[in-house]
Amino acid sequence: MQSLLTLFSTSFARLSSHRRILFCTVLAIVVLTVIALSNIKLGEDIGAMIPDRDPAVTRDFQYLRNAPFVEKVFIHLSGNDDVPRRELIDSADRLASQMKPPLFDRVVTGVRIPDPAGVALVFSRAAPLMATEGDIENLKKRLGADGIRRELQALRGSLETPEGWMMKALFQEDPLRLYASGLTKLSSLNFLGRVDVRDNHFVSRDGKHLLMIAQTPVKITDSRGSVKLGNSLRGLIKEYLPAGITASFLSGHLYTAINSETVRKDLFAIFTTVSVAILVLLLAFMRNWRAVFVYFVPLIVVAVATAVVALADRTISAMTIAFGSVLMGISDDYPIYVYFSLRNRRDPGRFIASVARPVLISGITTMATFATLFLSDLPGQRQIAYFSMIGIAVSLILSLVVLPHFVPAGGSRLVETVPQRAPMDGFRRKIIIVIWLLSMALCGWQMTNLNFNGDMRAVRMVSEEIRKTEEGLQRVFGDFRSHGMALVKAPSLEGALAKNDRLYEALRRTFPPGEIKSIAPVLPSSATQEASWRNWSDLWSEAKRNKVRDLISTESNSLGFNPGVFSAFFARLTQKPAMINVETYRAAGLGDLFESFIQKDAEGYRVLTYLPDTDGASSFFAGRQSPDGAVFISQKRFSESMSRAMTDNFFRYILFSSLVMVAALAFFFRNVKKVLLALIPVATGMVFMFGTMGLCGIDFNIFNIIATILVIGLGVDLGIFMVSRVTGSVDKDTILAVVLSGSTSLVGLGSLMIARHPSLHSIGVTVFLGMCGAIPAAVFVIPAFYGKGPSESA
C-alpha cells in the first residue's frame, strides 16, 4: 500500500506545474457530465424495489400490476338529497360521452341489456349445457304435479302484467322457467359488492351514488400520462356535472401521479436544502473562500455518478437520484479531511501520503460496505450500490489528486505528528463509558420491538383526497378492489376454461358460493357442457317427457291456455343446443361482464377467479396441490413475501457488511485495538437506530433498510478518522474534520427528513437516528476507551 500512497505524492509534484491543465480537465469532465445529465430518463417504476430473484414474488407482482382493475378508472358520483336518481344517471351519461380518446377508450356506467327477454331466452336454451347435478336434482323436484301447477300459475300471473306480455314468446318456449337458473348464476360474476343495476347503471342501494368504470390506454407507469389523465378528468367533472352532484375518482394512475409529483418536488427541496446547508457549514468551519473547492467535490461526485448510472442503465431510479443528497453527505468527508490536514502547510506534497492512508482506508471500506448491496434481491438497491461506489471513487480521486492543489498553503506547520496528548481524566472516562453502556443496553432492549413491514402501501404517497376517495368507494360500493385472484392459464381459451371448471369445483367444496366470483357456472368448457348435456338427456327420457307433457296439458287446460301452446318446449328438450361461448353472451349484450375474468397475452389465455384475500384462501392453495397449477395472487401474501425478502436482505447486509468492514479494518490497521475502536461508531449508530425505531414504533421497510448500509459506511468513516486522531498518526485538526464531516453527513441525511414522500422520509429519519448515535460515539466514546479526549488534544 505504501507504493500507492507514494503515488499521490508523486502525482502532486508532477501536476503542480500543470494546474491550469488539471483545472481545464476537471471542467471538461463537468461539462460532459452536464450534457449527459440533460438526456437522462428518470425511472419512477416501483418495480425497481421489487425482488427479482424470487420467481414467486416476481410472478405475483407481474400478475398484480396486470390485474383487470389496475389500469381502470373508478368514478364515484354522489347526489345530495334533492337530486333524483334520474338526474344522477343523466349526469353520468353526459360525463361518459365527453370521456373520449386518446385518454379514454371506453366508459362503462352499468350493464346495458338491449333485450331482457332475449337474454332470458339465451339462458333458457343454454340450460341443458350448464345444468349441474344440483340443478338436475332441483328440476326433478319441480316436475311433479304440484310443481308444474305452481309454475304455470306463476306464468299466468306474469302474463297479466305489461312486462309479462312482452315475454310471451319466452314463456311459450320455457313454461318451467329454466332460464331462471342461468340468471341466478350471473350473480357469480358480480364482485361489485353493494352495487345494484338500475336503469342499466351501477347505482348504490340508496340510489344516491353511481359508479362509472373507465378504460384507458394510459399505463400506470406513465407518470406524465397519469398527470394528464387526472387533470383532464377533473376538468370534465367540473364542466359537465351540475350543482348538487359531486364526483371523485380512483385509479392506479392517481397514485402514480401523486407519487411522481411528490418525488419531483422533494428532490428539488432536498438538493436545494443540502447544497445550501453544506456550503454554509463549510464556510463557517473553514472561514476561507477556498472552501468552495471542497464544496465542488460532492457536487461533481453526484453529477458524475448520476450520469454514469443513467448511461449504463438508460434510466435511473428516482430513489437513486434522491440518494444523491446522502452521497453528498458521504463524499464530502474525504475532501474535508484532506483540506484540514493540508491547509497552511508550506509543502503539502510532503504530507499527502500520510493523509491519503486514512482517507483510502475509509473510502475503500465504505465502498466495500456498499458492495454488499449487490447481494440484494431488489434491482433498485443494486443500482444504489454502484451509484454510491462510483461516487465514493470519484470523491477519493478528486480529494487526493485534484483538491491538494487548491488548498491554501504557506503556513509554518512543518511537522507530521503532534505532541503526545495528556490522558483523559479517569472520572470523565468512566462517566462517558457508563452512559454509553446504559444507552446501548436500553436501545438493545427496545430492538426487540422492531417490525419489518413489506406492505408497498406503507411506502407510497397517499394524499388526503385519495384516502377519502378510497374510503367513500369502500363504504358505498364495498371493497371490491382488494380481492385475491386465483388464475389458471393455457395456450387456448378452451384449455383454460377446462382448468377453470376443475378449480371452481374444488373451491365450491371449501368456500361459501357467495365468496367465489367465477365464470365457470355460466361459461363452462366444452367438455363440461357435453357432460351436462348427457345428464340432461338422461333426465328427459321418453317416459319422463310424456309424463311431463300430460301434466302440463292438464294444468294448461284448467288455466285457459291454448292447446299446444308449449309444443316448442317439448320439441327443444331433445335438441342439443349450440355450444355456449363468449360470443353467445356478447350477442346478447353481456360481453362486458367477462372482460375482468379472461385475459389474453402472447402465451395464451388466463381465466381469473376472485376470492376474499384471506388466510383461508392462501392456505387452500398453499396446503394442497392446486388443480392444474392454479395460482393464488394475494396482495396480503405479496406483502408477507416482501417482508420475508426484506428480513433476508437485512440479515444478509448485516452479516456480509460486517465481515467486509472488519476484514478491511484488520488489513489496513493490523491492530486489534484499533479495529475495535474504529467499530464503536458503527455499533453505536446501528444499536441506537434500531432501538429508537423499536421504541417509537417506526417500521423497517424496503427503503429505510438501506439505512443499515449508510450507518455502517458513515460510522466506519468517523471511526477511522477518530482512531487516527487519538493514536497520534495525523494532525490535530482531525477532530474538527470529524465534527464537520459528521455535520455535513447529518445535513445530507437530514435533508431527506423534509421529504413528504414516505420512502424518502423514512430513509432520512432512520439514518439520522443512526448518525445521532455514531457521531457522539466517535467524538467522545473512542477517546474515552483509548484514554485521550478531544479537549486535551485540540
Question: 629: which residues sit within 8 A by CB, 6+ positions away?
Answer: 488, 499
Mean pLDDT of 417-429: 58
Residue 286 has pLDDT above 80, yes or no: no
Model confidence band, residue 239 (pLDDT cutoffs 50, 70, 90): very high
Higher-confidence position of 222 and 164 = 222
Model confidence band, residue 94 (pLDDT cutoffs 50, 70, 90): very high
Q: What is the pLDDT of residue 481?
A: 62
Q: What is the pLDDT of residue 78?
A: 92
Residue 496 lies in a domain: yes
Percent of all residues in the chain with a pLDDT value above 70, rounded to a whole number: 88
Q: What is the pLDDT of residue 688?
A: 93
Residue 158 has pLDDT above 70, yes or no: yes
- Tell me the C-alpha distance between 26 and 48, whole Å: 33
Distance of alpha carbon 23 from the chain centroid: 44
Q: What is the pLDDT of residue 417?
A: 40
- How many domains does the chain divide into? 1
Model confidence band, residue 794 (pLDDT cutoffs 50, 70, 90): very low
- 8-state DSSP, 671: -
Q: Express each pLDDT in 690-718 by its tens digit.
A: 899 888 888 877 677 777 777 887 788 78
Q: What is the pLDDT of residue 418?
A: 40
CB atoms within 10 A of CB 628: 17
Model confidence band, residue 320 (pLDDT cutoffs 50, 70, 90): confident
Mean pLDDT of 439-467: 78
Q: What is the pLDDT of residue 271?
A: 82
Q: What is the pLDDT of residue 456?
A: 61
Question: 493: which residues sit within 8 A by CB, 6+ positions away?
Answer: 582, 598, 600, 605, 607
Residue 590 lies in a domain: yes
Q: What is the pLDDT of residue 424?
A: 59
CB atoms within 10 A of CB 542: 8
DSSP character string of 196-253? EEETTEEEETTSSEEEEEEE-S--TT-HHHHHHHHHHHHHHHHHHSPTTEEEEEE-HH
Q: Which of 49-58, 102-111, 580-589, 766-775 has the lowest mean pLDDT?
A: 49-58
- Tell me the C-alpha distance between 333 and 341, whole Å: 12
Higher-confidence position of 435 and 253 = 435
- 8-state DSSP, 375: G
Higher-confidence position of 748 and 686 = 686
Residue 598 lies in a domain: yes
Q: What is the pLDDT of residue 482?
A: 67
Averaged confidence pLDDT in the chain: 81
Residue 601 lies in a domain: yes
State pTM to two decimals: 0.72
Q: Residue 232 has which C-alpha cell? A: 383532464
Angle between helices 707-726 and 635-669 (to 10 degrees): 20
Q: What is each CA distance from 577 to 103, 125, 434, 535, 536, in whole angstroms?
A: 42, 7, 88, 14, 12
Q: What is the pLDDT of residue 792?
A: 42
Mean pLDDT of 42-57: 66
Q: Express each pLDDT in 322-381 by its tens digit.
A: 777 777 877 888 888 888 877 766 666 667 777 888 888 888 888 888 888 888 777 877
Q: What is the pLDDT of residue 793?
A: 39
Is residue 763 a contact partner of residue 381, using CB atoms and an 8 Å limit?
no
Residue 245 lies in a domain: no
Mean pLDDT of 205-225: 86
Is residue 458 a contact partner of residue 698, using CB atoms and an 8 Å limit?
no
Q: What is the pLDDT of residue 459?
A: 65
- CA nearest 410: which of 282, 288, 283, 285? 288
Q: What is the pLDDT of residue 191?
A: 67
Is residue 691 a contact partner of residue 445, using CB atoms and an 8 Å limit?
yes
The 3-class SS string of 43-91 reads ECCHHHHCCCCCHHHHHHHHHHHCCCCCCEEEEEEEECCCCCHHHHHHH
Most confident of 422-436, 531-545, 654-668, 705-719: 531-545
- Tell me the C-alpha distance between 484 and 779, whole Å: 53
Task: Indicate if the alpha-carbon torsion angle 148, 154, 156, 158 is positive or negative.
Answer: negative
Q: What is the pLDDT of residue 533?
A: 94
Model confidence band, residue 493 (pLDDT cutoffs 50, 70, 90): very high
Q: What is the pLDDT of residue 345?
A: 67
Q: What is each CA distance from 411 to 10, 225, 334, 348, 484, in whole angstroms?
A: 22, 61, 22, 10, 73
Q: What is the pLDDT of residue 45?
A: 60
Q: What is the pLDDT of residue 526?
A: 94
Q: What is the pLDDT of residue 420?
A: 43
Give the range of the structural domain holding residue 494, as residue numbers without chain letter. 116-190+482-633
Q: What is the pLDDT of residue 666?
A: 85
Q: Which of 45-54, 64-73, 175-184 has the lowest mean pLDDT?
A: 45-54
- CA nearest 646: which of 449, 443, 380? 380
Measured in degrees and rounded to the nearest 5, phi and psi for residue 789 equal: -110, 165
Is residue 92 a contact partner of residue 77, using CB atoms and an 8 Å limit?
yes
Model confidence band, residue 2 (pLDDT cutoffs 50, 70, 90): low
Is residue 206 a contact partner of residue 88, using CB atoms and an 8 Å limit?
no
Residue 561 lies in a domain: yes
- Tell me the C-alpha distance between 553 and 152, whole Å: 11
Mean pLDDT of 660-676: 84
Model confidence band, residue 240 (pLDDT cutoffs 50, 70, 90): very high
- Tell me the C-alpha distance between 703 and 377, whole Å: 13
Is residue 75 a contact partner of residue 247, using CB atoms and an 8 Å limit?
yes
Mean pLDDT of 29-48: 73
Mean pLDDT of 14-41: 82
Model confidence band, residue 586 (pLDDT cutoffs 50, 70, 90): confident
Q: What is the pLDDT of residue 311?
A: 81
3-state DSSP assignment of residue 461: coil
Burial 697-724 (b: 16+ CB within 10 A, else e): ebbbbbbbbbbbbbbbbbbbbbbbbbbb
Q: Where are the alpha helices (DSSP H) in 250-290?
A: 252-286
3-state DSSP assignment of residue 108: strand
Model confidence band, residue 285 (pLDDT cutoffs 50, 70, 90): confident
Q: Which of 23-27, 533-537, 728-732 has the lowest mean pLDDT?
A: 728-732
Residue 376 lies in a domain: no
Residue 338 lies in a domain: no
Mean pLDDT of 750-769: 82
CB atoms within 10 A of CB 251: 26
**Residue type (1 letter), 195:** V
